[in-house]
Amino acid sequence: MTATLRPVQTPAWATAVLQPAQEFSPTSLTVLSGAIPAGLRGSLYRNGPATLERGGQRMGHWFDGDGGILGIHFTDAGATGVYRYVQTAGYQLEEKAGRLILAGYGMVPSGPLWQRFNKDVKNVANTSVIALPDKLLALWEGGKPHALTLDTLETVGLDDLDGLKQRPYSAHPKRDPKTGAIFNFGVSTGAKSLLHVYCSDASGKIQRQNAIPLSGLSLIHDFAIAGKYLVFCIPPVRLDVLPLLARIKSYSEALLWQPDKGTEILVVDQETLEVVSRTTTDPWYQWHFGNGYQLLDGSITIEICRYPDFQTNQRLREVSTGSTQTVAVATLWHLRLDPILGNVLENQQVLDRSCEFPVTQPQDLGQPSRYTYLSIHCQATDVQSEVYDAIARFDHQTGTLTEANLGAQRYPMEPIYAPDAQNSDQGWILTVVYDDAINASEVWIFDADHLDYEPVCRLALPAIVPIGFHGTWKPA
């Protein structure tokens, strides 16, 4: 659904969500403080909703915003930034018309009911990115990825990855650091709901895939790699299909929280892509997983940013209005299970702070790792009205949390780990920060081992980059 825009009292972060992004061509970035580390060579890419309005109407959910990609290229000559809208067919159609037309996650199509059935759901390409050797993919939940050029972020078009056909390709691919294989999934529905699991080579081309029947159409956003297994936690959210098909409700509005169904855990073998075990346990909801790995006793453990229910969906809808009233707090949990029998051996909270967007060092993905980097709320922050206002590192060995003090009314995006090109023991955490005091966005670079120190470098961006979702690092 849509709502007519009207002036409201908005919090400090709202400008970095509500203001439509301005593109900028490749621009040399000014160093505001410190210096770019000599071993930081490569590119940071970020994705997120770049505009949430068109023709005086607000989009229905934060997830409906047209995707915009930020690229920051680090070379011996310095840092260059570029920002582009993904030129999807839906973006071009609505931009030309100057109004909202298509269905979205939180939107029914425009027009009278009898005119809605021939209008597509817009692929907004706004959720995440993966950098391949010759292209960047802008990812979304419900369709194919869009390919962009790595340097200037020009949109090339939809990409089939040599095997998707009409199947969706989700927004959280995982790259095995040992083999270079890329795993991902997509959920489709028809006579029955299917979980499509893909394995691609390092170029992104799909080498093998499998379709796993699901008991109902749920909302599956992410998964974990744990040793030789892929782990999916299917929350007790089910789609009420009839009002969606009738175009009376949006996808978001048709999702029902049904805790009595519990959370289903699927363990899938990496090699065969076949189900090893499936079991049902207590209900919760999660958007994101941190790392996973196999223990010496054969059990596997995965990290989850876990919500007690599905109120997070309503809160994320409210973000698109610039004001939040719904409290939805995720905390960090460890889930340990027997992958063969499917038995849950442990399911415990390890960090009681409000957090999201867990990230591990890419070279440790699927293997034992000590640290998880997160977006968090500061201890004194009002979690009802504020978005995440700090980043931190959680030490699983000691149980300690090291926080970056960004200062008041500064809002970072998901932390991205970048390995140092010269020293394998060194890493850097990159984030994009919106500073309300100066109404500007900056790139901040931290020493990964000293998040509580001042950033080693701050770079000015030529325009505000809206708060987004996910990013990636591509080494030079």
Question: Edge to edge, what strands does the sheet with 390-395 contain?
Answer: 355-359, 371-376, 390-395, 400-403
Q: Report yes or no on 17 lying in a domain.
A: no
User: Are 465 and 70 contacting, i.e. CB atoms less than 8 angstroms apart?
Assistant: yes
Asked whether residue 132 is domain-assigned, the answer is yes
Opening angle at CA 342, ends 339 and 347, nearest 5: 95
- Tell me if 447 is assigned to some domain: yes
- CA-CA distance, 39 to 419, in Å (whole number)? 8
> 273-278: long-range contacts at Cβ-Cβ below 8 A with a sequence spacing of 24 or more?
273/197, 273/199, 273/208, 273/209, 273/210, 273/230, 274/210, 275/212, 276/229, 276/339, 276/340, 277/338, 277/339, 277/340, 277/341, 277/342, 278/342
Q: How many other CB atoms are there within 10 angstroms of residue 476's CB atom?
A: 11
Residue 70: strand pairing partners: 46, 83
CA 68 to mean position of chain CA atoms: 13
pLDDT value, residue 4: 46
Taking CA atoms, 59 is separated from 42, 342, 431, in Å, by 35, 41, 26
Contact 40, 421 (CB under 8 A): yes
Q: Which token pair is 232? A: 């999916």
Q: Tell me if 13 is assigned to some domain.
A: no
The answer to whether residue 16 is domain-embedded is no
Report the domain count for the chain.
1
CB atoms within 10 A of CB 246: 13
How many CA within 13 A on the CB side of residue 117? 5
Q: Which CATH number belongs to the domain containing residue 180 in this structure?
A: 2.130.10
Environment class of 450 (CB within 10 Å of its CB; exposed 0-12, middle 13-18, buried 19+)? middle
Which among 368, 372, 387 has a CA at the least distance from the CA of 226?
368
What are residue 208's DSSP bridge partners?
199
Whether residue 153 lies inside any domain: the answer is yes
Question: CA 186 to CA 196: how far, in whole Å?
Answer: 5
Query: In which domain, by residue range, is 451 found?
Result: 3-8+22-475
Position 120 scores a pLDDT of 78
Print burial letters for 188-206: b (CB count within 10 Å at least 16), e (below 16): beeeebbbbbbbbeeebeb
Within 13 Å, how many C-alpha atoms sit on residue 251's CB side?
16
Residue 81 lies in a domain: yes
User: What is the pLDDT tens value at each position of the chain, 476 positions in all?
Assistant: 444 444 446 799 999 999 999 999 999 999 999 999 999 999 999 999 999 999 999 999 999 999 999 999 999 999 999 999 999 999 999 999 999 999 999 998 876 665 666 667 899 999 999 999 999 999 999 999 999 999 999 999 999 999 999 999 999 999 999 999 999 999 998 778 999 999 999 999 999 999 999 988 899 999 999 999 999 999 999 999 888 888 889 999 999 999 999 999 999 999 999 999 999 999 999 999 999 999 999 999 999 999 999 999 999 999 999 999 999 999 999 999 999 999 999 999 999 999 999 999 999 999 999 999 999 999 999 999 999 999 999 999 999 999 998 999 999 999 999 999 999 999 999 999 999 999 999 999 999 999 999 999 999 999 999 999 999 999 99
Residue carrying the six token digits 């680090």: 74
- Does 184 reside within a domain? yes
